[in-house]
Amino acid sequence: MKIYRHFHALSFDIVLGALASSSLAARMFKANPGWAWWVTLGLTVWLLYMGDHVVDAWKHRKISKRELHRYIFGNRKTVLWAMGVIGIVDMSLIFNFLDNVLLKYALILAGVVLLFYAMRHLLRKNRAFFIPGEAFVLLLYMAGTWLGPFVSRGGELQTPDALIAIMFAGVLLMNLGVISLYDIKLDSRLGIASLAHTLGRKSIRNLLMTTGMVIYLLMILQFLVFGLNSYSQFALIISGMATILLLVLFLPSFFRKNDYYRWTADAVLYMGFLSLLVNL
């Protein structure tokens, strides 16, 4: 495997994207959640994604169709040991150094996550109540990466903040939707009811294009209502993310080569670090 494939298999790219997303929120809210937030965010995101990979790798251990599953299963002992050590460190930091108010909301979020998992498992055969996994990931990712900056700000959400939050949620939807569209055949063979598999190719493409257009309209609204300020710069960064994802959507012949679509979709979130250059 190439270096980046190791980087991806070990979910380091996801951790980096989460830190970039939280950086954008912290910059926009003009908040500083503290060092414990940044460290525990990275560790917790790594544990969640690696735990998911380990479970999937075990489920498909006999006939693995994904390189990721084969990699994780082949190194499962090392991965499990690492998860155990990092889990202990993460819990110690959370309960000893994380702000008490932030800890309270983090525990509530964890409870909601567990409830969502349980309900999704119980209702997985009921199509009337079935929710695609991408919807869960979007809500968890958004809430998890923005929780620290939002609570540190005092829980105050102004109109410009709400518009940026909606735009960013749209980018997350496009990110997850693009990947599910490219992986629709593989997900179907693995029995994974992804967003694209649930809605169909045409519907998911229309949804992603519509989401991109909404993001552009909200960016224009930011300029018209609030002028050229820091919020408009955040809106421009997020619109740039949407533009790249639309390119991935419209140029499958290029992005399918060597899994460029996956690397690009993951790297799009790194643009959140550009928020550090915004003049407040």
User: What's at 7, amino acid-wise?
Assistant: F
Terminal-residue alpha carbon distance, the chain: 42
- Three-state secondary-structure class, residue 129: coil
| Single pTM value for the model | 0.89
CA 272 to chain centre: 12
pLDDT tens for the chain, 280 residues long, are 467 777 888 889 999 999 999 999 999 999 989 999 999 999 999 998 898 888 878 877 766 667 777 888 888 899 999 999 999 999 999 999 998 889 988 888 888 777 776 766 665 555 544 556 677 778 889 999 999 999 988 877 888 899 999 999 999 999 988 888 887 766 555 555 566 667 777 888 999 999 999 999 999 988 888 777 889 999 999 999 999 999 999 998 888 887 788 889 888 999 999 999 988 7
Instruction: Give the domain ranges of the chain.
Output: 3-277
Question: Is the Cβ–Cβ distance between 249 and 209 less than 8 Å?
Answer: yes
Residues 184-216 as b/e (b if ≥16 CB within 10 A, e otherwise) read beebeebeebbbbbbbeeeebbebbeebbeebb
